[in-house]
Amino acid sequence: MNLLSILLLLLLLCTCSADRAGEFCNADSEISGNSQIFANIDRLLPVLVFRTALTGFATVTYGKGQDKVHGLAQCRGDVSSKDCFSCIQDAAKQIREVCPDQADARIWFEYCFLRYDNINFIGKVDTDFSTVCFNLAALTDQIRAEAVFPGNRGLGKGEKKLSRFVKLYALVQCIRDLSRIDCAQCLAIAIGSFPDFCDDRKGCRIFYSICYVRYELYPFFFPIDSRNSLVNTSMVVANP
């Protein structure tokens, strides 16, 4: 069986959700619906959605003392402002539905990622948890180098011809507040997980809290738009 036949066969073996790609609700962070942390999460999310829609990335802190909550959201670097806003809106709504009683929650979509916690995680490396959505893969040194190159905002993408009729498309994305070293480290860990999680499948997506990698046999990313001119934003909100 030739490579093209194998790849076409693998296309039939797995599909991924076009909507929510994964979520994590920390069972050790349960809170009650009448707690101050619960209320602070509700107040944090609209601000986080608004700020992320402006720039594609935002961090927000809300509250005081032990009730303080921290949020981070980011859209994939190649999506439009309209798609970013739509994705973050859906993420903020669904994360409260799937993780209603947890202070530590994370949700991954095709175009965006959103997370909040009552423990400050912003700017810290975290690769303890990953959600895998199968479909196939292979990553190159080229797009990893592109992701950590200054000015690319953690985004690397490319394509490679496998045969006359088949191309492999790949994209990597780091959270923008990571250092170049931490971005490279997260991508290396994610890529190193492929043999365990992706096997011989025709495409693969691995989501960490600070980076994301994906491969497919069809084009799935967009040209970079005017979002390149936008700047990162960070915001702290205190109780009145």
pLDDT tens-digit profile of 44-86? Answer: 999 999 999 999 999 999 999 999 999 999 999 889 999 999 9
| Residue 119: pLDDT over 80 | yes
Condensed to tens digits (0 to 9), the pLDDT of residues 128-161 reads 666 555 443 444 567 788 898 888 889 999 887 7
Same domain? For 218 and 176 the reply is yes
The confidence score (pLDDT) of residue 8 equals: 32
Distance CA 179, CA 184 (A): 9
Residues 133, 192 share a domain: yes
As a whole number of angstroms, the distance between CA 29 and CA 22 comes to: 18
pLDDT of residue 140: 56
Q: Answer for the pair 88, 114: CB distance below 8 angstroms, yes or no.
A: yes
Beta strands 233-237; 211-216: pairing state: unpaired
108 with 145, same domain: the answer is no
| Statement to judge: residues 61 and 117 lie in one domain | yes
Residue 236 pLDDT: 39
Specify whether 204 is located in the same domain as 132. Answer: yes
Instruction: Give the separation between CA 168 and CA 162, rounded to whole angstroms.
Output: 7
State the residue for tokens 């036949």. Answer: 5
What is the rounded average pLDDT for all residues in the chain?
80
Query: Which tokens is 231 given?
Result: 């700047």
Q: Indicate if 90 and 75 belong to the same structural domain.
A: yes
On the question of pLDDT at 41 being above 80, the answer is yes
CATH number at residue 210: 3.30.430.20
Residues 24 and 113 both lie in one domain = yes
148 and 203 share a domain? yes
Q: Which domain holds residue 54?
A: 20-124+231-237
132 and 120 within one domain: no
| pLDDT number for residue 237 | 40
Is-contact 203 217, C-beta < 8 A?
A: yes
Q: Identify the pLDDT of residue 18.
A: 42
